[in-house]
Chain A
């Protein structure tokens, strides 16, 4: 697993960023975007992705911390 953004090469992606990549790109992905690049890639906003992360955390999904 490479924990740096495949678009901007930002390093040390946190667990929540990797989790939201898995949720929105597929469980099996092993390369990831940082939150900003993921929002760009999906034509959405960082705010929306952060809301999603909070919802997954509330559900108790252990892909998130």
Chain B
């Protein structure tokens, strides 16, 4: 029986709940301190101060300098800006290297740049979703200007060896961008240690508000503006600052980073509880993604099954998850990531993603697992 009041939300890689403390931090800037921070009157003073503090907080969370943080509308804009902003500035070198498992917010801008005369090379992920740094080394040539590889995959959760790949790119004088939308707030990120030139992030993936994100641009990196107009964000990203959401993003990131260790351990426990039930009930499945993976990401393919069917049946039970396949009027489309990692055909259609957060309970995870068992055993 569907009971919406007892909703179990396990699609945190798609978006996450706004943290109540974050909402409280945002509220004054929605209701009272609503000024445009570009205005010189004293009414804007508190908002300006909040903006500075938020930028400082975010920079500290990734070991960047505040002037390297540029606020955007989210991960998609950040990725578009990183790719187009670098390549539109590059007069001679016209090569981009990316991978075949990137988010569409990277793949589509790369396609656009290709139409505008750039050359794009796609590194292929292995069956666990890893991009081999050696393959990057082999792929680079003197025409290349930018490497863009995601930090953690949004579907299968595999975490890439970003440090090694950025080193390889820099050895050849090439800039390195990473889409860290899934990773930030869930993994420790130090942009100086990883030697990243550009990093994309989105607040709603770590219990912040939707419609806000940022692009980290290392000092000295020449990037062309994508959104043109006013002189906000050091004249690189026009548009009146969304102070409430920026404050919320900073509060959410700080809170997540402060409890990173505990939440990682807790999520691993939840994952184990889930797999144990599936194993005990003899469900035939394979886990997609590598051993180095996002905490709370469970991506499985169930043999001879139908991921979309499982998603909708769980929905009727008040459980929200995601799938790696979708029906297109009688045909099943397998996601580009599941195809890229060569999941066997009799498993691929039965792919589902459960993405847990520290707000999920063990009771909820047990219910999800037993509900899946019930569905796949009762067709």
Interface residues of A (CB under 8 A from B): 22-29, 42-45, 48, 52, 61-63
Q: Which residue of B305, B313, B330, B332 is within 8 Å of A63 (Cβ)?
A: B330
Interface size on B, residues (CB 8 A): 16
Interface residue SS majority, chain A = loop
CB–CB B327/A61 < 8 A? yes
What is the 8 Å Cβ interface bit string for chain B, positions 308-330, against chain A (1 contact, 0 not)?
11001101100000000001111
Interface residues of B (CB under 8 A from A): 1-2, 305-306, 308-309, 312-313, 315-316, 327-330, 332, 379
In the docked arrangement, what's the CA distance between A51 and B182, Å?
32
CB–CB B2/A62 < 8 A? no
In the docked arrangement, what's the CA distance between A38 and B329, Å?
21
Nearest A residue to B332 via CB reads A27
CB–CB B309/A23 < 8 A? yes
> Contacts of B305 on A, CB cut-off 8 Å?
26
> Contacts of B1 on A, CB cut-off 8 Å?
43-45
Nearest A residue to B331 via CB reads A27
> Contacts of A48 on B, CB cut-off 8 Å?
2, 316
Q: How far is the CB of B309 from chain A (nearest CB, A)?
A: 5
Q: How far is the CB of B7 from chain A (nearest CB, A)?
A: 14
Nearest B residue to A20 via CB reads B312
> Contacts of B330 on A, CB cut-off 8 Å?
27, 62-63
CB–CB A44/B306 < 8 A? no
Q: How far is the CB of B3 from chain A (nearest CB, A)?
A: 10
Knowing A27-B306, A61-B327, A62-B329 are in contact, say whether A45-B2 is a contact too (CB < 8 A).
yes
Nearest A residue to B305 via CB reads A26
> Contacts of B328 on A, CB cut-off 8 Å?
61
Q: How far is the CB of A38 from chain B (nearest CB, A)?
A: 11
CB–CB A23/B308 < 8 A? yes
Q: How far is the CB of B320 from chain A (nearest CB, A)?
A: 14
